[in-house]
Structure 1
Amino acid sequence: MERRQKTIKREFSYTGIGLHTGRDVTIKCKPLGSDKGIIFKRVDLEGQIKIEAEIDNVVSTQRCTTIGKDKVNINTIEHLMAAINVLNIDNLLIEIDSNEPPITDGSAGVFYTLLNDAGIKEEEATKEVYQIKEPIYVSEDDQYLVLLPHDEFKVSYTFVSNHPTLEDQFAEFEISKEIFIKEIAPARTFGFAHEVEALQKQGLALGGSLDNAILVGDYGPINDLRFDNEFVRHKILDIIGDMKLAPEFNGHIIGVRSGHRLNSILSKKIKERLF
């Protein structure tokens, strides 16, 4: 099936802290014409390298999804990409003055609101939305990710907890704008207190705080949850964001324990299967 391509009507900017760098970063989103794609532009660097948000440009999936080109990277794009995906935005220039978008409050809600408020404009060109005809699956150890035929875009996920105070969680949603903004977008990223020191020694999570992430201590979450099953909802949010890097499709994703690495591998398989 086909639909009209979309971009935003008006440009906007937003400044906030980067989750891993801990530094202020500004993004400026601008409309683009048909068939341009989602493009990040590093305006802080000489040459202002442009990187298309596309599966072939993924260079790392450690703790987040990172795209790169010519040794220039942009990481933690998944929350912004989730909002872009749900709003069916196909063409967008994202000027950024650091190597990661702002973490906002750790969810996708701020990005969704900014993009939606900028207005969504249909363009003349069309976009193919592929229908998955047969199962595609990937697995590693006890992690699984399966894509099945389905008339719409649906995600089911099982979060399996290794923490003594957290129960396993399951959720599934037919992904629509209404469902996303109410049930998925507010779900925040999360981390475990015993991992923080090691991550910061690696130069990661330097901007993490209770304002932009759920922190899990020895006795459970330290900050209040927005949903009883916020962890599994955020994992679904990540899948939605990572799938924007693949050709657009309708299908039912079922995940167990999976993360950005399997999301990336599945996206590559989808592209190989469709092309």
Structure 2
Amino acid sequence: MNRQCTLQEPVCVEGIGVHTGKPCRVTVRPADENVGIVFHVSGQQIPALAEYVVSTDRCTTLGVDGARVMTVEHLLSAMAGVGIDNAYIDVDGEEIPVLDGSAKPWAECFYRVGLREQRAERQRIHLTRPVSVMAGDRGIWAMPHAERLLIATVHYDHPLVGTQVAWFPLDKINYLEEIAPARTFGFWEEVQPLLARGKARGGSLDNALVIFPDRYSTSLRFPDEVLRHKVLDIIGDLGLVGAQVEALFVAVKPSHTLNTAFALALRQTIQGE
């Protein structure tokens, strides 16, 4: 039996929000079985479910009754990647800390304190038919499959990036080694427009991979780190399904808008069956 898991003990992390540029503190606490992932923000509870997405402008933001928390995707990705089903996330600030721009610091924190297996069985969904969301030349599909696999492709009109394609088994070991270390990225020409819109105020060469016209800001952790970070984001956004979906996933030019719409479509499919 594949049982639900929570943390052995709380984890507290402080850092800077990549978009707000403000200090923020997050405490991830153990929760009882069947609670799911729940954010505590400004006195409100915000379940980590697709219905609570209020913005996908350069990050995934959840909200309810005026309370909001930005940039939840890396934290949720790490929780899904290591297998945390139930947790309370207390947020002191407007945004989840960016840390080094990847999910690796979160995953390492969770492994350091350890997980506690619970009695209830993990909610695993086996699709009976394909589910898809498409927008122009972008799309995400899920198809019934015996193993959890993700095939992803991205394309950028930039000589250093171009088209990247890869597939990944969605398991704990592969996640920690091959996906979690991939850092958030941005193109140099986007920086000033983002700042003008009030975004990326906490971005720096310490927490983001900047792609200049002729070089990267630092050595790559993987030759296809751009693609792998997109996979990291997909896993985090699909955490908003609230269950582990057993399927073959195919993502073409994914984005937070597409990912979260797909998570909502999966939830609606599950609820309708």
Q: TM-score, normalised by structure 1?
A: 0.95
CA deviation map 1:47-73 (0-9, x unaligned): x21211111111111111111001211
Aligned counterpart, 2:24: 25
Aligned counterpart, 1:113: 108
Q: Match for 1:206 among 201, 204, 207?
A: 201
Q: Is the 8 A contact 2:234 2:254 kept in 1?
A: no
- Once the two structures are superposed, the pairs formed by residues 1-275 of structure 1 within 5 Å of their partners are 3-42=2-41, 45=42, 48-246=43-241, 247-275=243-271
Q: Secondary structure at the match of 2:182?
A: coil
- How many angstroms apart in 2 are the aligned matches of 1:242 and 1:191? 19
- How many angstroms apart in 1 are the aligned matches of 2:254 and 2:9? 36
Give me the identity figure in percent: 36
Q: Secondary structure at the match of 2:63?
A: strand
The alpha carbon displacement at 1:166 in A equals: 2.4
The alpha carbon displacement at 1:116 in A equals: 1.5
- How many angstroms apart in 2 are the aligned matches of 1:4 and 1:213? 35
- How many angstroms apart in 1 are the aligned matches of 2:161 and 2:230? 15
Q: Is the 8 A contact 2:36 2:85 kept in 1?
A: yes
- Counterpart of 1:113, as a letter, is E
CA deviation map 1:225-268 (0-9, x unaligned): 11110000111111111111103211111111121111111111
Q: Is the 8 A contact 1:166 1:220 kept in 2?
A: no
The alpha carbon displacement at 1:178 in A equals: 0.8
The alpha carbon displacement at 1:28 in A equals: 1.0
Q: Aligned residue pairs: how many?
A: 270
Q: Is the 8 A contact 2:81 2:176 kept in 1?
A: no
Q: Secondary structure at the match of 1:220?
A: coil
- How many angstroms apart in 2 are the aligned matches of 1:271 and 1:213? 32
Q: Secondary structure at the match of 1:182?
A: helix
Q: Secondary structure at the match of 1:273?
A: helix
CA deviation map 1:133-154 (0-9, x unaligned): 2211111111111111112221
Root-mean-square deviation (CA, aligned residues, Å) is 1.2
Consecutive unaligned residues in structure 2, runs of 5 or more = none
The alpha carbon displacement at 1:29 in A equals: 1.2
Q: TM-score, normalised by structure 2?
A: 0.95
Q: Is the 8 A contact 1:19 1:103 kept in 2?
A: yes
